[in-house]
Structure 1
Amino acid sequence: MIRLVIFVLLVLALGYGFAWLADRPGDVSLLWEGQLYETRLIVAATALIALVAALLIGIWLIRLVITSPHSVKRYFRSRKRDRGYQALSTGLIAAGAGNALLARKMAARSRSLIRADQEPLIHLLEAQAALIEGRNDEARAKFEAMAEDPETRELGLRGLYLEAKRLGANEAARQYAEKAADQAPYLPWAAQATLESRSQAGRWDDALRLLDQQKAAHVFEKPQAERLRAVLLTARATERLESDPTGARDDALAALKLVSDFEPAAVIAAKALFREDKLRKAAHILEHAWKQTPHPEIAETYVRARSGDSARDRLKRAEKLEAIRPNNIESLLIVAHAALDAREFAKARAKAEAAARIAPREGVFLLLADLEEAETEDQGRIRHWLAQALKAPRDPAWVADGFVSQKWLPLSPVTGKLDAFTWKAPFDQADAPTEDHAALLDTALKTLPPVGTSVAENAEKSLADRAIVEVKAAAPVKETAKSTELIKTEQAQNRDVKIRPEQPFFGGRPDDPGVKDPKAQPDDKSRLRLF
């Protein structure tokens, strides 16, 4: 575009100059070797310009002739390079599509057209073709050669890392990832792999240091980096809770500053503060976390903050949590459990049924079964609630890659991924279509069998059974050690039944009916005799 503008301006300037000369006529005289040459000004200017143009064209032609061999050579070399890059592009596409034969053919063609030291992608194409054909040793050798070249070092380390992971050589994969992270901390795959490997080894300090480097290199976004740092700090606090409560407290509080609604950090911070007898501060942390996200671990830690509290004291603390987050299933459940421990069955039943109306899940029905066992001891009602629990969805738990854990873990035990656990219902039950929870509970209450025996009758029966057992245990051994014959005699006398002598179990012979006893079976004259 700029050249076109310059050309137009030059033509305009030349035309304007000729027009200016045409408006001002004159003659030009030239005396050369005694000869006088005269011509008009416009003709002289035209001849001068034509002479300059001819001179430039001549110089161009001479230069073209001189540089023609190099130009021809450069043309054929460029054409060959274009063909090589075309073959390389076709080979990479074939390798991505899984066509090993075409990829190998295009790799050989591109190597013959382009020098491998000038184009490192040829090594990548050959390595990919070897991987597709199953020649892993050759591919590994290619990746090692690429790792030695500064231009392709990152690509070679990436290939070696993936090969080590495929073979299950986790230690070799860790070394490749750490080498790549040290030389290029901006690589996301190396950063993630190195963080996970150091976390699996429990090297929390090294993992935090590496995370700071990667944050400075903008590998992770700020929210993601803060989340990962909070996870690492919480994991280190969990490990230091028994040996160093002060350090665990500092780590957990630092994690809470980064992620304020991180429940494991709040629980660890509260437990560390409990060990330092700072109950008020720990309770404030748990209440703040409970207000943001009600979690059963927070509630359990809060209710059982002091080991010497009575059941009614724990019930009061549970009711305080319910006041912070009313009409919440976790609030209702913690109050119901505390009321059951305090033997306040009416309150426990009301809270449990209210929780079932919100979300009828397994833990709610198990709580109702425990309540029936403690209050009525009616096995029919207990089995009814247990049957409801079998059909109900499971309670939320820490889930990562299909693995269900009752406590939070920083890493997935399946894949080793950092910060993989989430609090949800296992097996994607949370995504299932929800039904009318109130209707389900009403149906369960309608089909609940009535109480077979009252609490008072059960208590009297248990006391009577206990008294009988005590009387039997206190009776002398002589009175209870009567012989079998004497017991049978007394029973027969009470019933006015004559004792018959014992007969052997096998009786008499099959062909001998024996002699009838006239006393045992008197003769009846009115009876019809056949013989």
Structure 2
Amino acid sequence: MTKIISFVVIVLFIAFGFSWLADRPGVLSIVWQGQLIEMSLMVAASVVAALIVAIMIVWWLFNTVWNSPHAARRYFRARKRDRGYQALSTGLIAAGAGNAILARKMTARTQGLLSADQEPLIHLLEAQADLIEGKYDAARRKFEAMAQDPETRELGLRGLYMEARRQGANEAALEYAENAARNAPYLPWAAQATLESKSRNGEWDDAIRLLDQQKAAHVIERGEAERLKAVLLTAKAEEKFESDPKAAREDANQALKLSKGLIPAALIAARSYLREDNLRKAASALEPVWKISPHPQIAQLYVRARSGDTAVDRLKRAERLESLKPNNVESLFAVAKAALDAQDFHRARAKAEAAARIEPRESIFLLMADIEEAETGDQGRIRHWMAQALRAPRDHAWVADGIVSEKWLPASPVTGRLDAFEWKVPFGQVEGPVEDNGIDHALSSLPDVAKPQIREKIIEIPVPVKVADPVIVTETKVVAEKQSFPKNEAAASPEEKRQDAVPFFGGLPDDPGVKKPNAEPDEKTRLNLF
């Protein structure tokens, strides 16, 4: 565009000059070697312009002839270079597709057309061809040579890192990644590997510093960077909670500013406030997170914030959580548990049934069994709810990469990935229950409360009685009061059933309360020595 404008300006300037001469006619006289030459100004200007053009054409022709050998060499060199780049491009595509034969063929052609010093990608093509053919040692040597060249250092370190990971040499892979991240923190693979390694080793400050560098270099998005930084701050706070609760609380509050729904950070901050008996600030740390993502651990800490509270006080706190997040399964479950502790069975049963209607799961049916045991004690109904719990979906847990953990962890123990744990149903759970495990079906099949059967039972107690003959011992029988269990009729023999029950008052044989036997004791009684 600039050239076009410049050409138009020059043409306009020349046209303006000719028009100016045309408006001012005159005669130009030149005396050269005794001859007088006269012409008008327009003719003189035209002659000068033609002379300039002729000189330029002559100069162009001379320059073209003079530089023709160099131009020819440059033409053939450019043609050869283009063919080399075309072969290099074809070879890289073949290597990416896994075509070892074509990749090796294009490697040989590229080496014949291009110089390795001229194009470093030839080393990459050779290394890729070696990897496809299984020549890992040769490929590693080429990557090491590339790592020594400043122009291909990052590419060589990347190749060495991938080879170390493939062979399971995690320490060597980490060293290559740290070297690359030290010189180029904008490399995502190097920064991510270094970040995961420092997180696995508990080097939280170094991990946070590296994450800030990634954020400044725009390697990761702002939202993701803030979430990962919040996770690192939470892990740092959890590590030093026992030794320095106040510093841990500051880190947890900073993490909550970056990620408002981070449950572990809220738990750490609340526990730190509770150590100072500051219940109001602990509640202010838990309630905003509860509104975003209700969690049973938040409910447990909130309800049992003070150890001296009564069951009724805990029920009121659970109802406070329900008011913050109504019609939520976790809110209803928390109120049902608190109502059970307060012996409010009607409310506990109603809230548990409402929670089961929203999300039937194992813990809710187990809670129904606890309510049944505390209220009725009917074993049939308790077993019914236990059977429903066995068939119900499992409860949520912290899950990452196939690992189920009882508590939240900042990184996956398998891959080292940050913020890998999610609160969800553990792996292996089917998408939908095979049977109908709804609360309505469970209530319709719930057996009635069994009425206790009251029966009599005779308990025989052998009592030593002192008589004139110290060898003879008699037995008395006492009628027990009515029991709620069936009579054990097989325990007494027919003869013992026919004997009268004799009360015992602990006196001598002449005591009126002791009934003397009418007949002499038989041989069996004599042998029953005390």
TM-score, normalised via structure 2 length: 0.80
The 5 Å alignment of 1:31-180 reads 31-38=31-38, 42-180=42-180
CA gap of 1:305–1:6, structure 2 versus 1, over 3 A, is closer
Alpha-carbon offset, residue 373 of structure 1: 2.8
Query: Deviation per CA, 1:122-150, whole angstroms, max 9, x where unpaired?
Result: 12222222222222222222222222111
Alpha-carbon offset, residue 379 of structure 1: 3.1
Q: Choose the corresponding residue for 1:452, options 437, 450, 453.
A: 450
| SS of the residue 1:399 aligns to | strand
Alpha-carbon offset, residue 289 of structure 1: 2.6
Find the counterpart in structure 1 of residue 261 from structure 2: 261
Equivalent-residue separation in structure 1 for 2:173 and 2:474 (angstroms): 82
| SS of the residue 1:410 aligns to | coil
CA gap of 1:51–1:401, structure 2 versus 1, over 3 A, is same
Find the counterpart in structure 1 of residue 403 from structure 2: 403
The 5 Å alignment of 1:21-420 reads 28-38=28-38, 42-420=42-420
Find the counterpart in structure 2 of residue 504 from structure 1: none
CA gap of 1:15–1:216, structure 2 versus 1, over 3 A, is closer
What is the letter of the counterpart of residue 341 of structure 1?
Answer: D
What is the letter of the counterpart of residue 165 of structure 2?
Answer: K
% same residue: 65
What is the letter of the counterpart of residue 450 of structure 1?
Answer: D
| SS of the residue 1:241 aligns to | coil
CA gap of 1:248–1:15, structure 2 versus 1, over 3 A, is closer
| Gaps in structure 1 of 5+ consecutive residues | 481-487, 497-531
Alpha-carbon offset, residue 234 of structure 1: 0.9
| SS of the residue 1:418 aligns to | coil
Alpha-carbon offset, residue 44 of structure 1: 4.5
What is the letter of the counterpart of residue 96 of structure 2?
Answer: G
Equivalent-residue separation in structure 2 for 1:338 and 1:313 (angstroms): 9
Equivalent-residue separation in structure 2 for 1:495 and 1:453 (angstroms): 29
What is the letter of the counterpart of residue 420 of structure 1?
Answer: A
| Gaps in structure 2 of 5+ consecutive residues | 465-472, 476-489, 499-530
Alpha-carbon offset, residue 434 of structure 1: 10
| SS of the residue 1:426 aligns to | coil
Equivalent-residue separation in structure 1 for 2:320 and 2:22 (angstroms): 106
Q: Which moved more, 1:29-38 or 1:417-426?
A: 29-38
Equivalent-residue separation in structure 2 for 1:417 and 1:370 (angstroms): 40
Equivalent-residue separation in structure 2 for 1:28 and 1:495 (angstroms): 166
Q: How many residues are matched?
A: 475
Equivalent-residue separation in structure 2 for 1:81 and 1:129 (angstroms): 21
CA gap of 1:324–1:57, structure 2 versus 1, over 3 A, is closer
CA gap of 1:479–1:25, structure 2 versus 1, over 3 A, is farther
Asked if 1 retains the 8 angstrom alpha-carbon contact of 2:290 and 2:298, the reply is: yes
TM-score, normalised via structure 1 length: 0.80
Query: Deviation per CA, 1:345-384, whole angstroms, max 9, x where unpaired?
Result: 2222111111112211221112112222333333332232
Equivalent-residue separation in structure 1 for 2:131 and 2:44 (angstroms): 77
CA gap of 1:218–1:45, structure 2 versus 1, over 3 A, is closer
Asked if 2 retains the 8 angstrom alpha-carbon contact of 1:261 and 1:289, the reply is: yes
| SS of the residue 1:409 aligns to | coil
CA gap of 1:475–1:379, structure 2 versus 1, over 3 A, is farther
Equivalent-residue separation in structure 2 for 1:21 and 1:289 (angstroms): 87
Alpha-carbon offset, residue 114 of structure 1: 1.7
What is the letter of the counterpart of residue 438 of structure 2?
Answer: L
Asked if 2 retains the 8 angstrom alpha-carbon contact of 1:396 and 1:426, the reply is: yes
What is the letter of the counterpart of residue 99 of structure 1?
Answer: N
Higher normalized helix content (fraction of residues): 1
CA gap of 1:4–1:243, structure 2 versus 1, over 3 A, is closer
Find the counterpart in structure 1 of residue 505 from structure 2: none
Query: Deviation per CA, 1:421-474, whole angstroms, max 9, x where unpaired?
Result: 1222334969x5799x9x9322221111222245xx6xx89xx99x97xx87x9
Find the counterpart in structure 1 of residue 440 from structure 2: 442
For the aligned residues, what is the CA RMSD? 3.3
Asked if 2 retains the 8 angstrom alpha-carbon contact of 1:378 and 1:453, the reply is: no
Query: Deviation per CA, 1:145-188, whole angstroms, max 9, x where unpaired?
Result: 22211122222222222222222221112211211111111222
Asked if 1 retains the 8 angstrom alpha-carbon contact of 2:393 and 2:433, the reply is: no
Equivalent-residue separation in structure 2 for 1:493 and 1:236 (angstroms): 81
Asked if 2 retains the 8 angstrom alpha-carbon contact of 1:329 and 1:359, the reply is: yes
Equivalent-residue separation in structure 1 for 2:283 and 2:310 (angstroms): 18
